[in-house]
Structure 1
Amino acid sequence: MTTSTSRVAIVTGGSGGIGRASALRLAADGTAVVVHYAGNRDRALETVRDIETAGGRAIAVGGDVADEREMLSLFDAAEEAFGGIDVLVHTAGIMPLAPIAELDLETFDRVQRTNVRGTFVVDQLAARRLRAGGAIVNFSTSVTRLQIPGYGAYAASKGAVEAITLILARELRGRDITVNAVAPGPTATPLFFEGKSQEQIDGIAASNPMTRLGTPQDIAETVAFLAGPGRWVNGQVLYVNGGAA
């Protein structure tokens, strides 16, 4: 049953990390949220329950971001549940790490499929279906500036995300839809902690001018700004990293 609401957001990767924090933050602003998940349905449903317990509105929908048919179903579900779509927050992505000389090409292709094709697929649908006044928020990474060894495939994929973002912002001229990318620095999420020793984590945190890792909530504040009041920010990559060089 279709029920209209003031503002509706799709958050890909909304079952955990930055995606979950963004979904909760947008819901706190009164936005109805479609919590997308790839494999962790239970965590997505937990996010939905947390939003509903706080008085918000949400549903969970699964799918592969790089599969255009599954993402079409995601957008259809959002419109059916809430009457339209205003915001896309695309946090879903993968980050296998290895030196370029050692990374197998199958892994490289998987990173590009999820991170680049996935962004293209959901951005294309958003460009076709977001209402006027809408916002697309993609996710890049501060590693494109920091050039950290081991991140070659991931940084390459996010460089492509930035290109898609900046061009789409210009292509949507006259539509009153903003398109930006958030580029977090090291952030305390399972994706970041994977494969790192405590010594490595402590060293990365200490190197930041703020002497800590970012939190998903830190990033979600910027997402909420771009998704709502930040209407004069368009075609930009925002580095949200506590001052990392």
Structure 2
Amino acid sequence: MSVLDDIIAGVKEDLQVRKAAVSLAQLQERIATIPPALDAYSALGVGDLARSELRVIAEVKRRSPSKGELASIADPAALASQYADGGASAISVLTEERRFSGSLADLDSVRAAIPGVPLLRKDFTCDPYMIWEARAHGADLVLLIVAALTDAELAEYLALAHELGMAALVETHTDEEVARAVAVGAKVIGVNVRNLKTLDVDRGVFAPLAQLIPDTAVVVAESGVRDVADVSGYAASGADAILVGEALVIIGTPRERIGEFKAAGAAAISAR
């Protein structure tokens, strides 16, 4: 069993508990009482072929399977506020509990504090219920990992997200997965340079995969962002956006770090 398989097995177990506690009908009732989803696609540059700035998706992330404990983050909303002040185009909130110590309560608190910035519910989506659940808790984006879904599921989940007014970050790791993401019409395609079987990071895989993604889709570099040099490298190789968590949560000045990343990215984009 790969790390991804193991994580999803746990996600499915926890999902059954939540399904027993909150029905789909209850989620739908809640959705009817909250504001509609924000336009995350526009925020990330979809439709803007003359992209000149690097978008930053800043992540609220306490721990990871590869690094263990990263930061306690007692107040996710306060951290997210710093992200928003720093110019993050979207904020990612990990809600997976077993490996990442996240929760839907984290998503709720960030949504309440940051009403105007799109939120990504970062979890291992493996059931349509989770998409309804994400919207009911204020998310504007969901994560769809190609390696974890069949073509039919990928198409179904993407369609449901759009039906609910949401966007999707479609994550890929190989050329075959990029082809599947493009075929389903993904507008935001992430290239994760972390091997989900070994958890090793290889930044060298980004450039060749990014070149396979059409200009009409936003390309997001995922994993491996340590510093300005990494950001510049990704942007020079075709990234329109970066998804970064660890490099922000371990530093005491995330707002300033986002500014540094955006400046470095813009310079690299203008030079490519």
User: When the two structures are superposed, what TM-score results if normalisation uses the length of structure 2?
Assistant: 0.37
User: When the two structures are superposed, what TM-score results if normalisation uses the length of structure 1?
Assistant: 0.40
The higher-RCO structure (CA 8 Å, 6+ apart) is 2
